[in-house]
Amino acid sequence: GAGVSQSPRYKVAKRGQDVALRCDPISGHVSLFWYQQALGQGPEFLTYFQNEAQLDKSGLPSDRFFAERPEGSVSTLKIQRTQQEDSAVYLCASSPGAAGDSYEQYFGPGTRLTVT
């Protein structure tokens, strides 16, 4: 079956531009996570949705970052006024149960964002 998909796969933005990154989770998955992964580092948690509810956004680095999942399926991560330090791979993952229920997370291929 279809896995997690993300679009675009690559995005180059000029400093100060706004970007929107899309995630299509596996159908029926309750949980959706966004991570930021810098080169040579592990994924850093950004935010978590259970269905349409954003239950944890403690990892969002600034108020320029905003995420939504209005109908409990597709999610969008928006970054306003991009800065060079936002350059990273943004990974989306989905899971069939709640975050703490120890289900496997299924990752999408990521969006590689480069801010010039």
Partner 1 sequence: RKEVEQDPGPFNVPEGATVAFNCTYSNSASQSFFWYRQDCRKEPKLLMSVYSSGNEDGRFTAQLNRASQYISLLIRDSKLSDSATYLCVALWGYSSASKIIFGSGTRLSIRP
For position 101 contacting partner 1 by CB under 8 A, the verdict is: yes
Per-residue binder mask for partner 1 (CB under 8 A), 35-64, x = binder:
x----xxxxxx--x-x----xx--------
**What is the Cα–Cα distance from 113 to 98, expressed in whole angstroms?**
28
Residue 54 to residue 39: CA distance in whole angstroms: 27
Residue ranges of E strands in the chain = 5-7, 10-13, 19-24, 31-37, 44-50, 53-56, 65-68, 75-79, 88-95, 106-107, 111-115
Least distance (Å) from partner 1 to the CB of residue 55?
5
Stretch that binds partner 1, among 20-28, 70-78, 80-88, 106-114 (CB under 8 A): 106-114
Binding site for partner 1 (CB under 8 A): 33, 35, 40-45, 48, 50, 55-56, 91, 98-102, 104-105, 107-110
